[in-house]
Amino acid sequence: MTSRLPDVFSPSAVQYGETVRVDDRTTILPVSRRSTRGAETAVGLFTITDGTATWTPAVDMGRIHLIGALTGLIAATLGCAAVLRRPPWPNVTIDR
């Protein structure tokens, strides 16, 4: 494991893909990052139009969905626990 750590923090961990010409004015350069296990993850892409470069980050929708699902699961668990457990104060009801 320690022999692989320098590879992760080296500048070669960020890799640039092949340039893609969309038209006469626009070129796209994809950027990816190599993880500790060797898998590549998309980071984003540079769009070069008329000599002006624009950075567009890649959004990991799987991570966003996971955070939303975990938030809903925690809220449902806390809501069920609040409903099923009786409150610590006495029952204040008026019976006629």
pLDDT along the chain (96 residues), means of 10: 51 82 92 83 91 91 95 94 74 75
Which one-letter amino acid corresponds to residue 79? Answer: G
64 found inside a domain = yes
Question: Long-range pairs for 38-45 at CB < 8 Å and ≥24 separation?
Answer: 40/15, 43/14
Q: Evaluate whether residue 16 is within a structural domain.
A: yes
Tell me if 95 is assigned to some domain. Answer: no
Residue 50 lies in a domain: yes
* 76 part of a folded domain: yes
Give the 3-state secondary structure of residue 26. Answer: strand
Asked whether residue 80 is domain-assigned, the answer is yes
53/31 Cα distance (integer angstroms): 13
Q: How many domains does the chain have?
A: 1
The reply to whether 96 falls in a domain is: no
Range of the domain at 44: 5-84
Query: What was the pLDDT predicted at 1?
Result: 45
- The pTM of the full predicted model, rounded to 2 decimals, is 0.57
